[in-house]
Amino acid sequence: MKEEQRSLLLSSSSRFPPPQGVRLSYGTSGFRADAAVLESTVYRMGILAALRSLNTESSVIGIMITASHNKVSDNGVKIADPSGGMLSQEWEPFADALANAPTPQHLLQLITEFVEKESILLETVRPAEILLGRDTRPSGESLLEATKQGISSILGAVTIDMGIVTTPQLHWMAFTQLMLLVRCLTDLIPSGGRKMSEGDEKLVVDGANGVGGEKLELLNKMLDGLLIDVRNSGKDGGILNEGVGADYVQKEKLVPQGFDSQDIGLSCSKIELVDGDKILSLFAIFIKEQLSSLNEGGENTISSYQAHLGVVQTAYANGASTDYLKKLGLEVVFTPTGVKYLHEKAAEYDVGIYFEANGHGTILFSESFLLWLQGRHKELSAVSKGSEQEKAALRLLAVSKLINQAVGDALSGLLLVEAVLRHMGWSIHRWSDLYQDLPSRQIKVKVVDRTAVVTANAETMVVQPPGIQEAINAETAKYPQGRSFIRPSGTEDVIRVYAEASTQEGADSLANSVATLVRQFLGPGSS
């Protein structure tokens, strides 16, 4: 490393000392914490992103300043790889080490050793190139500036500030393409499908007082046949994710602020939730139907391709959804909690579908399957244009472009839901009635050291501390359709408890019993 580069890193890092007494780790959603302690972290992630760009032959890397569903006083940073997906897991230990280096000298030593180990050329003709984005949090602007300082501390690195964007937009900057693909899907609806009622043509959306509401209003101007009414857009001074947002609705089972009984057709104190499990089920039914159609209807000159369709869930998926998917004959597998694990597993299939209960998810199509699909469509267009088989090929090609395969994207997911419901001729009530969720409850138990809990089998069982899994099993056996698991949080010192049972009273009781076990086994300081 040249002396000019060493001096630049030492001088710039001295302006961003790490917070005392705080240890941060790159979790499933990057780094997240109170915004007040993140300035040095985002500065150092700017350095990491520039190095990652150089390591990938100066490919564009994305940095997003956001804490997603967290309260407005929090913030965070996540990195997008050139593929559009998340930062390679192989780089996460380096991210942790950078974030927690105590002095500029330690930081420089880490960078020097890593650059040598990975054979990263700092002096190249093509500079590192970084896309920057942030959400609407008040702390975002100053953290973005600190990130820019980190990027510019690598000689020649170029920053492109995208301003206020959604995270998926940063991963996939192709916004207007959504409209063309939705129109393609709706044009391919089977004849005789259910006509949309007046209520079906209006979609009321909770913007959570964040960037999503702002982008939805832009989207609304380009849509035909669907009116989007955005509530909690942030323009009325509402606070981000406070009494609003997907996590609030999914965990609390409450209607977000700004909605009334006319919006949901029920008492405002109760909500019928169509969550990520139901979204996954809807898409799985649709994809399975299209795949079945492809190889029907006579001989074809292209060899038949039996696409491997897989559904990926975490232990938080409601047990009723898993049972329903298996009864459909679908292959269902589990991974640890976190989109990075779900995404990686889904990529092993020709078509892999994953969604968390809170709505994070997408559909992945393998390159080999898409190549076959394009050939199959070309063949069908020549011999049976307008047939259901040809339309099925077109629908799948449109879905592969509409759904954001880089990362879960609420906007493209929302539009695909609308297109599939129209294709199926289903109302939202018909969709919601696919299966009935088992009552569930989630509890957080504060602990001194969350790493004392070690899990296995996609977080469905505990291997440390000894004996706690047996105690959980004994409690669970007391409840009809009982199921419970615990796992350490990836972002805070708590143990998360999840429980299901045949009744809400049973789920609540089981969750409380398991939470008591956590306090007993983890000792003083747990609450």
Q: Which residues are catalytic?
A: 68
Q: Report d(CA 432, CA 265) in Å as an integer.
A: 14
| Residue 466: φ, ψ to 5° | -60, 140
User: Which residues, listed in sequence order, are joined to residue 354 by a DSSP beta bridge?
Assistant: 312, 362
| CA distance to 235, 242, 254, 404, per residue, from 239 (Å) | 10, 6, 17, 28
Triad 132, 406, 343: Cα angle to 5°: 120
CB 285 within 8 A of CB 293: no
CB 442 within 8 A of CB 461: no
Residue for token digits 């330690």? 106
CB 312 within 8 A of CB 252: no
Q: Report d(CA 524, CA 517) in Å as an integer.
A: 13
Q: Report d(CA 489, CA 247) in Å as an integer.
A: 15
Residue for token digits 């180990």? 117
Residue 302 is which amino acid?
Answer: I
Q: Report d(CA 77, CA 89) in Å as an integer.
A: 15
DSSP state of 446: E
Q: In sequence order, what E strands does 103-165 have?
A: 129-134, 158-164
Residue 366 is which amino acid?
Answer: S
Work out whether the CA dihedral 69, 235, 231, 363 comes out positive or negative. negative
All residues at 6 or more sequence positions from 491 whose CB lies less than 8 Å from its CB, including other chains: 27, 29, 32, 33
